Structure formats: structure tokens, C-alpha cells
Amino acid sequence: MLPFLSVQLMALLTTSVFMDVPQSGSTVRINIVSRLGKQTHEGVIISPAGNGLITIKLQNGYNISHPLDGIESIELIENATERLESDTTKTENDVNQDLPLVILLHTGGTIASKVDYETGAVIARFEPDEILDSVPELRPIARIEAVLIGNMFSDDIRPRHWNRMIEETEAAFERGAKGVVITHGTDTMGISAAALAFSWSGDGGRPPGPIVFTGSQRSSDRGSSDAKENLIAAIHFAGHGPNPSGNGDSTSIVMHESSSDGVLSILPGISSRKMHSSTRGAFQSIDIEPLGRITVEGSDCSVEMIRNTGEQRPIGKPTLFDESVTIAEIIAGPHLRPEHIRALASTKPDAIHVHGTGLGHLPISDPNGDSPENPEVQKTLNSYIEDGGIVVMSTQTIFGPVHLDVYSKGREQQEMGIIGHGSVGSPESSLVKLHYLLSRFKDEYSNIKTIWSTSLCGEIIDIK
């Protein structure tokens, strides 16, 4: 032993002297000896997790690492060079030209991702061949063209990115696409789906074909990933599903119905929400029934439509959002103070969107005479509205309507000029509708107030 040699160098020497390890990206079978006895594992070699280790990605998606000095043998199944040469032999002629064309727009998230076998990192896939190599079940479903919009965490998406998606969906249909799939991070996917629904159908039209949002709750390098089935179902629905009517189905979200594999929900993009931070069945439609479900078995998909959205509207042109619009959001509750509202109002937003309590209420009353800040909240909002500001109410309860006729407080809020009575659906849908109307009728309070209670694209239904 040479005491002055670094641990890392000793590991490299040990590796090179005692074990001939194939290059990263090679498929191998390793026979190991551990305290559990002899075991055999098969997978692809990736960058080692530590010195003196070999790390392989198993067929189930998980990685394992094992000390090289505990490996009995390594059998090479396919080296990396052969795998790459095999990949490069695939051409466009392998694609069935009779299949429907689906344009895949990638905005970010983990669904369209792959493992870089040199580093072990998960990186974005956006080339059609790479996507088909990752999910070969897609080959008999559709011809796929991919467009990279970005690699964004969905919480970083802004209205300018909605507009980019809108423009790319329009371009996709002009190129003859049967449908469009937008891969999107799940955190704000419901907001973007609502934005494109209002864009395409807020003025009474509809998109030429399905616009389907999908994502994944679990990273694609995990054995429990939902990415593969979500993508298969979304591509199938975009390529083979019914054309939208424009009445609540202009966009859809396709995600796992539950934590189990095999069945996926088709949810109305106009009003759906991520309701759990991590489970695979995280998405629910809010106040509006799901559109249907898809059963997936490999490449075989069957679609069951649950809800009839009515007669088809004429194909229309999408409306872009005014990117200069600013909306401030406040949450009603025990800590809302008038100075908070004044601070927001000082930035001169075009509107204030309120997440109200219950049926859509604010702390504006002081029946015990011990909370003077409550009437000040009302006074501050009155000043903002009198100066031309627009205030729209949604509800924190998520499900159920904004109903400002039930209690005297709600009637008082309406007298103040607060809009929102009769809204249903998610607060996110309310926010997007507000931005859409401001894009069309900026500084026209009367128009926005009148149109607010109108269902533009299926976002308002009668519920109890």
C-alpha cells in the first residue's frame, strides 16, 4: 500500500487492475456476492455513484450501485457503441405515414426526459426519434413531430409562455396535425390548460383538433414513474380522440386517474387542478365532470367518453393574452390587513383577484367593535374600485360556486362593485378568465362585469 496515494486514485487503480468495466451506456449482466448471497442484475451502466462502485440502471427504472470488489463477474450484453450504431440506423421510413400526425410541444417537466448514460442525469428529450426510442409503444399510435418551447419548471411559466404555446398550437394545426400534446410541469399545468381553452374558444370558436396537456408526477428514472402511460394516452387521444366542441373541452388534461396504472382521466382543461403534491392521481376536474377516461395496455388504448359537450362550434382563431396586464392576488383571512391592499394598489395593477372564504367573502365587518381593520379593508378596496380598479372574487373552497346573494356581506360586496357572483370552477380558471377579459376589454369595467357571468367556453355550469 502506498500511503501518499489519494483514495480516488487508489479506487481508479483498483478498478483498472482488477475489473474490466465496459463503458457507460453498455448493457451488462452482473453477478455479485453480498451478505444476502449471490445475485444477478441486468441493466445499463451509468456514471458510478461513488469511487470503487459500479452503477447500473435496471429495467424497472431504478439504479443500483455495488462495490467492484464484490462483483464476481460482468457479462457484456451490448456495448455502448453497438447501441448507438443501432439507434442511428433508424430513419423516417420506419414511421407509418398513414398514422395521424401529432405535434408534441415540450415546455418542461420530467415527462419527456431521458438518462444521459455518461452522467446518469435526466435530461430533456425532444427529438422525435429519442421520444420513440424511450417509449416504443408510441410507434403504432401516431407520427410525432416535436417542438422544444423550453425546459421550464412550471412555476416559472408566465403569460408570455401561454402565448408561445398558443402560437405553436396554431402552427401545428396549419401543418396538418390531427392533434397537439403539450408536455408540461404539473404544478401549473391546470393554469396553462385553462389559458389555451379561453384563447381558442373564449370568442365562440374551437380548435381544429384536440389539445392535450400531460405531465408526470414521478421522475422518469423512477420505477414508479407515470410518465410513460401518461404520454401514451395523451398521444393516442390527440391522434385518435374526438375533435373538441369548444364548450368545455377545447383543451384537456390526461393524467393517471389513481395511483394504479392502466386507467387515465381525460379532464377539462378549462377547470382542473392539481390536488395532491406527489401522488400519481393528483388531478381532478373542479365543478365540471371529467370528459372521459383512457385504458392503456402497451400500445393498445381504448377511450370512453363520459360527457357530451354538445354541438361543435365553428373552427376559430386563437386570441393572444395581453402580456402587459398585471393582476394582484390576495387571500381573505384573519391576517389580511388594509395596508396589504394599499401596498398592492400602489403598484397600480389592472385588477385584484381575491381568493375569498366560503361563498366568496372578505373580512369587512366588525360586529363586536374590536376589529377596526376590517372596515378599513372595505374602505381600501372601495378606494381602489373608485379609482377604476377591478376586483374579482373566487373561493378558497375550490369546489362550489361564488354566491354573493346568500349573506348580507356578499350583497354588500356586490354593492362595492366586486365581480364574481355565479363563478364556478377552480380559482386558477377564474384568474385566467380575468386575464383573458382584460386582454380584450382593458379599462372597460362595465364590459368585464357584464361578460363575467357568461360562460365563454364551458367554464360556468349550473351546480347546487
Which residues does 70 contact at the CB level (< 8 Å), separation at least 6?
32, 33, 34
pLDDT tens-digit series, residues 403-462:
999 999 999 999 999 999 999 999 999 999 999 999 999 878 889 999 999 999 999 987
Active-site residue, from 27, 186, 188, 395: 186
Alpha helices, DSSP H, located in 249-354: 338-345
Res. 348 pLDDT band, cuts 50 70 90: very high
Task: Render 432-462 in DSSP notation, one character per residue.
Answer: HHHHHHHHHHTT-HHHHHHHHTS-SSS----
pLDDT tens-digit series, residues 34-53:
777 888 989 888 767 678 88
The CATH number corresponding to 7-82 among 3.40.50.150, 3.40.50.300, 1.10.10.10, 2.30.30.520 equals 2.30.30.520
* Helix, strand, coil fractions of the chain, as percent rounded to 5: 30, 25, 45
**pLDDT exceeds 90 at position 62:** no
Buried/exposed code over 59-77 (b: 16+ C-beta within 10 A; e: otherwise):
eebebbebebeebeebeee
191 φ/ψ angles, rounded to the nearest 5 degrees: -70, -45
Active-site residue, from 187, 203, 261, 366: 187
Active-site residue, from 27, 110, 214, 395: 110
**pLDDT exceeds 50 at position 7:** no
pLDDT tens-digit series, residues 83-97:
555 544 544 446 788
C-alpha cell at position 326: 398585471
- Which sequence spans correspond to the domains of the chain? 7-82, 98-305, 327-452
What pLDDT sits at residue 132? Answer: 66
Fold (CATH) for 98-305: Rossmann fold (3.40.50)
Catalytic-residue membership of 114 = no
Res. 25 pLDDT band, cuts 50 70 90: confident
What pLDDT sits at residue 216? Answer: 87
C-alpha cell at position 18: 482488477
Res. 55 pLDDT band, cuts 50 70 90: confident
**pLDDT exceeds 50 at position 346:** yes
The yes-or-no answer to whether 98-305 and 327-452 have a common fold is yes
What pLDDT sits at residue 462? Answer: 79
Catalytic-residue membership of 110 = yes
Active-site residue, from 57, 114, 178, 274: 274
State what percent of residues in the chain have pLDDT above 70.
84
Catalytic-residue membership of 274 = yes
pLDDT tens-digit series, residues 139-162:
999 999 999 898 888 999 999 999
Domain covering 327-452 assigned CATH 3.40.50.40 in the classification: yes
pLDDT tens-digit series, residues 357-393:
999 999 999 999 999 999 999 999 999 999 999 999 9
Catalytic-residue membership of 186 = yes
